[in-house]
Amino acid sequence: MKKPGATRPRHGGRAVAPAPALLGDGDIETLQSLLDTVPAPLEPLDVSSLDGFLCAVIVQPTAIAPARWLRFVTDADGRAVPAGFDAGPLHALVVRREAELRRAIGRREWFDPWVFELHDDDEGATAGDGEAARSDPAYAWVAGFAAALETFPALLSADEDQLTGPLALLYRHLDVDDLEDADALLAEIETLEPPADLAAAVEELVRATLLLADVGAQLGAR
C-alpha cells in the first residue's frame, strides 16, 4: 500500500509538480531591505517597480535569460554590482518572484501585483517627480513595466492595434510628459474612464499583462 501523499496529481498521465510557495509579506519586506543595501551610485528598483519590470520581461515574444535582466534589478542602467557586494540572497528572491509570475501569466491566471497604498509619510516620491508618482499607487509598478519594455523592446514590434488597448490600461498611470510621440496611445487613454478604486486599477494591470502575454505569444509563434 502506498503511503498517503506518495503520489502527485496527474494531467493526461503526466505528474504535475506542486505550485511553489508564493512570496509573502515578510519576503517582500526582506527583498526591499536587500534592495536598499545596494551601494551607490547604483540605483536599484523598489519592489513595486521590480514587479512590473518582471511582468514586462515575461510577456516578451521570446524568453530572456535571467543573466540579461537581473542586472537591471540592482541598477536602472544595468551597471554591475561591486565585486564585494553579495547579490545572491537578493537574486534568489527575485528569481522566485519571476517564477511565480511566469507560472501565473503562462496559465493566464490571476496574480497579485505588488502595488501598495500610498501614505503621507511615504518617501518614494520627491519634489522632482511627476504628479502620478506622488499620487498614484500604480505608478511605480507601471514605471517598472515601461522600463523593461524600453530595455527589451521586442514586444513593441507587434501591430500597434494589438498593443494600444492593453498599453493604455497601463500607461494611463504615467505622466503625460512620459508619453511623447505616442499619439495613438494618448488618444486611447483619453477614452478610458478612471478606475473606481485601487482594486479596479490592479485588476486592469493584471488584465493588460495577460493581454500582452497573448500578443507576445502570437509574435513569438510567427
Mean pLDDT for the stretch of residues 126-143:
76
pLDDT band at 174 (very low <50, low <70, confident <90, very high): very high
Reported as a single tens digit per residue, the pLDDT across 5-56 is: 333 334 445 555 556 678 999 999 999 999 999 999 999 999 999 999 999 9
pLDDT value of position 124:
45
Determine if the pTM surpasses 0.85: yes
Model pLDDT, residue 20: 65
The confidence band for 125, taking pLDDT boundaries of 50, 70 and 90, is: very low
Backbone angles phi, psi at 180, to 5 degrees: -70, 145
C-alpha to C-alpha distance for 219 and 215, rounded to whole angstroms:
6
The yes-or-no verdict on residue 215 having pLDDT over 80 is yes
Alpha-carbon distance 206 to 55, whole Å? 10
Q: What is the pLDDT of residue 2?
A: 30
pLDDT above 50 (res 80): yes
CATH of domain 20-220: 1.20.120
pLDDT of residue 98: 98
Looking at per-residue confidence, does 15 or 177 come out higher? 177
pLDDT value at residue 144: 98
Q: What is the pLDDT of residue 178?
A: 82
Judge whether 102 and 22 are in contact, CB under 8 Å.
no
Which of 194, 174, 195 lies closest to 185 in space, CA to CA? Answer: 174
